[in-house]
Amino acid sequence: MSEATLDPVTLAVLKGRLEQIADEMDATLYRSAFNPIIAEAHDACHGLYDGDSGDTLVQGKSGLPVFVGAMAFAVRAAKRAAEALGGMREGEVWLFNDPYEGGTHANDFKLVRPVFRDGRLLCFLASAAHWHDVGGAVPGNYNPAATECWQEAVQIPPVRIVQGGQINPDVLAILRANTRLPDSLWGDLNGQLAALELGARRLAELLDAYGDAVVLQALQALRERARRLMRAQIASLPDGVYSFSDVLDNDGVTDEALTIALDMTVQGERLVLDFSRSSPQCQGPVNISRATAVAACYVALKHLFPEVPANAGVLDAVEFVMPEGLVITAQRPRPVGGYTETILRMIDVIFSAAAQADPRRAVAQAYGTINALSIAGHRSEGARSGQRWVMFSFFGGGHGAHAGGDGLNHGNAPISTATIPPLEILEAAYPVRFTEWALRPGSGGDGTHRGGLGAVYEIELLERQAQAFVFGERGKSAPKGIAGGGDAQANRFSWHSQGAWHTPPMVSKMLGITLERGDRVRLETPGGGGWGPPAERSADERAVDARRGYLADAADAAHPGEQP
């Protein structure tokens, strides 16, 4: 059925109602999760997926965009697993964290619930959320030295966590036995199940009100609209082949740069993203699966063409060339836990290639790393003495400048809508104190429009002892400007112990840093790249930069004599 056969007002109402279902599922999980990365940072996603293909139909506005592409692969994986056992049944929910089938990494648990009407499978509801700790060698699971997936986290294939409306106690026992934080896991799992239950009720109400056929027709019409809009946006770019490559610092195991290379072809309404020149899959955990790579491309395209709706129609208009065995199409058991760093670099190269086609549409590179930091130990005092604690968080940086103005200071990673957890929440939950949380002067790239500033975070340990682990990027190759704009400052991680500052041999990655009470870890995150020639920035704008303390004269003055 076509969009033309559906009343435009009805289509608009149904679009709003369907998106509201996904939004309510998001809100339900955010309000009930035990884990701050879900509850505060909103590292999760919910949506509706096609009953036959598993393709994305609707996603909530506050869910992570990177999950839109990846979750379609996850739904298909659950569907295949169910078909091998006789098919999907009413009253069940499938759970798994396999990153090679469902994308992203093993912390992201996917729950898939089939929706039946009169005994017929109509569609799927699905939830993805970042669980705090799921085993592996490193608390929080960002293991920069992993050489196979089992060193990163427990690997759970698609299994029924709910059967006949009841939680499967055998699966739950396996999950609880493979985490350092079983209470957090239990709370997050219940939050996801509650979100899916709410979504099923809301969808049933909508189907009862409008009829199954009309709602399915609206979903098809919305996908067709996204496909047409995407093709029109592609056609607005000049035809040509636009190439760009960038690098990752290293894979955490071997200190050699890895290339992410793109040849982008625009021909009328046809867009081809060819990553064939990228580095082969590597030993360390910066590999990603093909599902994750496709999802990263989706996020970049949504940034470039924000008017296009968030569903699978966006991807219908794009051809992906990603041969097997690359760092972006890695296969089991290659580790993939640091997927965030690699998809950020994929987004960077898409932005920079698009800038060659139309610099007024593109954005300069953002800070390019989440700086995943874990600090973990045991309580040594009070009623909770001996209790395990794991602080995991990610951190912000500057966004790239664009034709319309300066980049955003201290923003969230462009792979998602996840927010940086507030320091008050982290300090309340864990024995740490933030001694500094500030903008990093001079960290944004110069240009007609200045790149946004990165940030400085310094964290003091308040417990007797702990270990720290960091998994970052952009320590060697800074975010780049476009259209003549300057590059940003590179990432810098250090820690202070035994009276001196230290930096990692791998620059942006480090395993098992021993901390004593009063020791500190320090992150100085990159800014964003600049846009346009610096000579064209006005004197008035530079005076405002100076008055606000944005310029480089104070950039490295925090502790110049102490840093190595």
CB neighbours (10 Å) of residue 164?
10
Residue 419's pLDDT band (cuts 50, 70, 90): confident
| Band of residue 376 on the pLDDT scale cut at 50, 70, 90 | very high
* Residue 286 in tokens: 């910066």
The answer to whether 494 and 510 have CB atoms below 8 angstroms apart is no
Tens of pLDDT along 96-137? 999 998 889 999 999 999 999 999 999 999 999 999 999 999
Q: Are 24 and 199 in contact (CB under 8 A)?
A: yes
pLDDT digits 0-9 by tens, 338-367? 999 999 999 999 999 999 999 998 899 999
pLDDT in tens, 461-500: 999 999 999 999 999 999 999 999 999 999 999 999 999 9
User: Within 13 Å and on the Cβ side, how many CA atoms surround 432?
Assistant: 33
DSSP of 386-437 = T-EEEEEE---BPPPPBTTBPPPSSB--TT--PPPPPHHHHHHHSSEEEEEE
> What size, in residues, is the chain?
564
The reported pLDDT for the residue numbered 1 is: 40
**Per-residue DSSP letter, 326:** B
Q: How far is CA 19 from CA 46, 157, 168, 222, 415, in A?
A: 10, 29, 30, 12, 20
pLDDT digits (tens, 9 = 90+) for 313-324: 888 889 999 999
Report percent pLDDT > 70 for the chain.
97
Residue 63 has pLDDT above 90, yes or no: no
Residue 85: which residues within 8 A CB-CB, separation 6 or more?
none
In this prediction, residue 554 carries a pLDDT of: 46
DSSP conformational letter for 377: E
**Structure tokens of 249?**
């610092």
- Residue 361, token pair as written in the block: 């549409």
| Integer Cα distance of 2 and 4 in angstroms | 5
Hey, how many other C-beta atoms are within 10 angstroms of the C-beta on 545? Answer: 20
Q: Which residue has the higher pLDDT, 557 or 296?
A: 296
Query: Stretch 227-235: mean pLDDT, rounded?
Result: 94
- CA 32 and chain centroid, separation: 21
Q: To the nearest 10°, the Cα dihedral for 479, 482, 485, 486? A: 20
pLDDT of 553 over the 90 cut: no
266 confidence band (pLDDT: 50, 70, 90) = very high
pLDDT for residue 326 is more than 50: yes
Name the band, by pLDDT with cuts 50, 70 and 90, for residue 557: very low
* Residue 532 confidence class, pLDDT cut points 50, 70, 90: very high
pTM over 0.85: yes
Mean pLDDT of the chain: 93
